[in-house]
Chain A
Amino acid sequence: MIKRHPFLSLLMLGLLVLLGLAWPNRVHLAAFPEIISAYTAKEYCSCRYVMDNPAEYCVSYASQYIPLSGFFDDAQSKRVTASGLGRSSTAVWIGPREGCRLQEQADELPH
């Protein structure tokens, strides 16, 4: 097998090593992609609607190394939705003392 398919064997070995590394971290890995959208939606919402900073400033304030695939700030209802790494999150401004909170379900991004 190794002699006949040296590259395939190497690839298989690589996959096994990756799987071995990933398995103990599976819970963390499953949750990880959501960080990008959740962080951006929540921190942008608070930057904009709690701290009352300008929208343009809040975009750079809440940006991360991994770029977003979608973003919508519904200024009318103070709902902020961000998408990245295949996940979406929505944060909503609740009130003057309560500030912003992430919602269980993300809003659909407008097309």
Chain B
Amino acid sequence: MSIPFLRRLGLTVSLCASAALAQAENWPAADWAVGITPTGAAVEAFEAYSFPPRDDANPVGVRTDAVLVIRDGKVIYERYAGPTKASTPHLTWSVSKSLIAAVMGVAYAEGRFKLSDPVAMHYPPFAAHPHIKMGHLFNWASGLDWQEDYELAPLRSSVVAMLYTRGRDDMAAFTAAHQQEAEPGTRFRYSSGDSTVIAATLKSMVGEQAYADYPWTALFEPLGITSAVWESDPTGTFVGSSYAYMTARDLARVGLLMARGGRWQDQQLLPEAWVNFNLTPFADFKALTPNEEVPGGQWWLNVAFEGAPKPWPDVPPTAFAALGHWGQSLYVLPEQDLVIVRYADDRDGSYQHNEFLKRALAAFAGEAQP
């Protein structure tokens, strides 16, 4: 046999193999494919924790609105409660922060900014803070004097003022007016201001005209997301910290994109370097309380870091999440090929990520284990 023939044979074999590989990977089309829903004691234990009897007049305890579990790119579990339905574009609260990071990942791929750029280069009111760089915002490390408390200290809360009172007319400018308290890049302090400034920087990067549609053209449409709503302030700046809405089925698409390293089918929508940045712990992070999730680039990580054990002890360290107020969660467990969306209306602190995920793993990851 001639060498060219062998070479052609080899090429054919490898093409077939890659075709088989591509076929083995499931992706949602207009809707998700549905797989077999597991049953049994582990699923019952998961439901007992996630969906206890619910009283909307007296909102206490675990109050799950939706759970959607995707394994190997197919829906294997889906349940709604309260007023939430499969068609409800649910408020994601601070899951929005991870969504704006994904939107910015596309802008990053288009070469519109670098993490080392001063924020002021893209958002002029930050001329008052010339040393804050884009990367610092993503790590919540601007060093600005920001107070994130909601219910506990509403009087001095920066986020309440930003969303509802003094800051609401121009949320990014309100953030920019905060004092520099720590050296940029040296201190983690969770801040909805940092996330909203990220959304404001995008405006000059893509231009005012394209800005209003950019989350859709850059991210939602390529992923097949059709239910998204993103509220903005009167200057048109997306409330990047708090006000994105979509159905559970649509949010799971962002989870699958992240689970597969930023790739959507055969398109590398978010560069690998971007996803790596999202999932790298902020170097100067020190956990102040036990079980504090480790901040990456607008995502939360379950890694043991700087002597602190991993925040969710019963969950693999490769897991990561987008987390929001009142229990909104997008969990990604790449090792188990699981994406889990949880929408909720938890009004007290009784819900525990670790307990939920421990039971979810027992219920939904079992058969995937060799």
Contact = CB atoms under 8 A, between A and B. Distances in A.
A57 B243 contact: no
A96 B155 CA distance: 33
B91 A35 contact: no
A99 B168 contact: no
A107 interface: no
B250 to A, nearest CB: 13
Nearest to B161: A31
A91 B174 CA distance: 20
A68 to B, nearest CB: 15
A52 B86 CA distance: 12
Contacts of B228: 97
- Per DSSP, chain A at the interface is helix
13 contacts: A32-B165, A38-B164, A38-B168, A39-B160, A39-B164, A46-B231, A50-B231, A60-B56, A60-B59, A98-B230, A99-B229, A104-B169, A104-B234
Q: Which of B59, B91, B164, B166 has the most CB of A within 10 A?
A: B164
B26 to A, nearest CB: 29
Nearest to B56: A60
Contact of A31 (B87, B166, B169): B166
Interface in A84-107: 96-102, 104
A39 B162 CA distance: 11
Interface stretch (A12-20, A22-30, A70-78): A22-30
A51 B243 contact: no
A42 interface: yes
Interface in B230-288: 230-234, 243, 245
Interface residues of A, number: 29
Given A35-B154, A46-B91, A52-B88, A98 B229 contact: yes
A57 B154 CA distance: 24
B344 to A, nearest CB: 12
A69 interface: no
A82 to B, nearest CB: 11
A50 B164 contact: no
B124 to A, nearest CB: 23
Contacts of B59: 60
Contacts of B232: 98, 101
A29 to B, nearest CB: 7
A35 B231 contact: no
A20 B233 CA distance: 35
Interface in B147-188: 154-156, 160-161, 163-166, 168-169
Contacts of B231: 46, 50, 98-101
Interface in A47-75: 47, 50-54, 57, 60-61
B222 to A, nearest CB: 16
Contacts of A96: 229
A34 B56 CA distance: 26
Contacts of B88: 51-53
A51 B90 contact: yes
